[in-house]
Amino acid sequence: MGEKFDLTFFIDKKKARQKQTKSQLLNILGLEEGRNLIANHQCSLLADKEVFFYEYDYEEVDYILYMVCFDELIFKEAYLKVTINQFLDLIEPCFSQLSEIFFATGIYELTYEYIKEVNHIEDFNTEVFSKYPILFFRKGQEYDFKPFCSRNDVSCVVNTDRGRIQDIFAII
């Protein structure tokens, strides 16, 4: 078993209707809380993969994390655009239906490590975001990052500055 790739949705607690937001997100994603193994999921990124869904709601911070953990997800540079489009298939409906999603990140197992000092959602900034290889923002909220691609109102930023951030192509 390889490392888990974390797709994490950051939700502003002030805007969230916690149980309702979580339920809506699970419904949009076609997942259940905990372990999921869906043979024929409509999203190819989730089909025939073991996926876990977790909620992290720490008392000392003003945001909630909803994390989708992919087991055995491997990125190949030659297929990056295809993989990102598969992520957008999954993420774009979430952003369009849930205004309380602030942003989403994608990284292998280091989500908490990079945010443990950030207690307020408005304290997320370019310095924090630059540690993540993949980011999803609402269009116009890209923090001066150049989008790799966009779909409707969602922009995807891919940071590939190897040596400075996690090299998603080296994780096996």
Alpha-carbon distance 71 to 152, whole Å? 28
Burial of residue 86, with CB atoms counted within 10 A of its CB: 0-12 exposed, 13-18 middle, 19 or more buried: middle
Owning domain of residue 37 = 4-158
The 10s digit of each residue's pLDDT in 131-165 is 889 999 998 888 888 999 999 999 999 987 755 66
The 10s digit of each residue's pLDDT in 29-55 is 988 787 776 666 677 777 777 888 999
Residue 164, domain member (yes or no):
no
The 10s digit of each residue's pLDDT in 117-129 is 899 999 999 888 8
Residue 67, domain member (yes or no):
yes
Using alpha carbons, select from 103, 80, 107, 113 the residue that is nearest to residue 5.
Answer: 107
SS3 51: strand
What's the half-sphere exposure (Cβ side, CA atoms, 13 Å) at 118?
19
Contact predicate 141/103, CB 8 Å: yes
Residue 50, domain member (yes or no):
yes
Residue 147, domain member (yes or no):
yes
pTM of the complete model beyond 0.85: yes
Contact predicate 115/9, CB 8 Å: no
Is pLDDT at 172 greater than 50 in this prediction?
Answer: no
Residue 123, domain member (yes or no):
yes
Rounded to 10 deg, the angle between the 80-97 and 18-29 helix axes is 140
**Residue 150 β-bridge partners:** 155
Residue 168, domain member (yes or no):
no
Residue 78, domain member (yes or no):
yes
The 10s digit of each residue's pLDDT in 9-25 is 999 888 877 679 999 99
Q: What total number of domains does the chain contain?
A: 1
Amino acid present at 165: I
The 10s digit of each residue's pLDDT in 55-84 is 998 889 999 999 998 887 778 888 889 889
For residue 19, the tally of other CB atoms under 10 A from its CB is: 8
Residue 169, domain member (yes or no):
no
Q: Is the dihedral of CA 58, 62, 68, 73 positive or negative?
A: negative
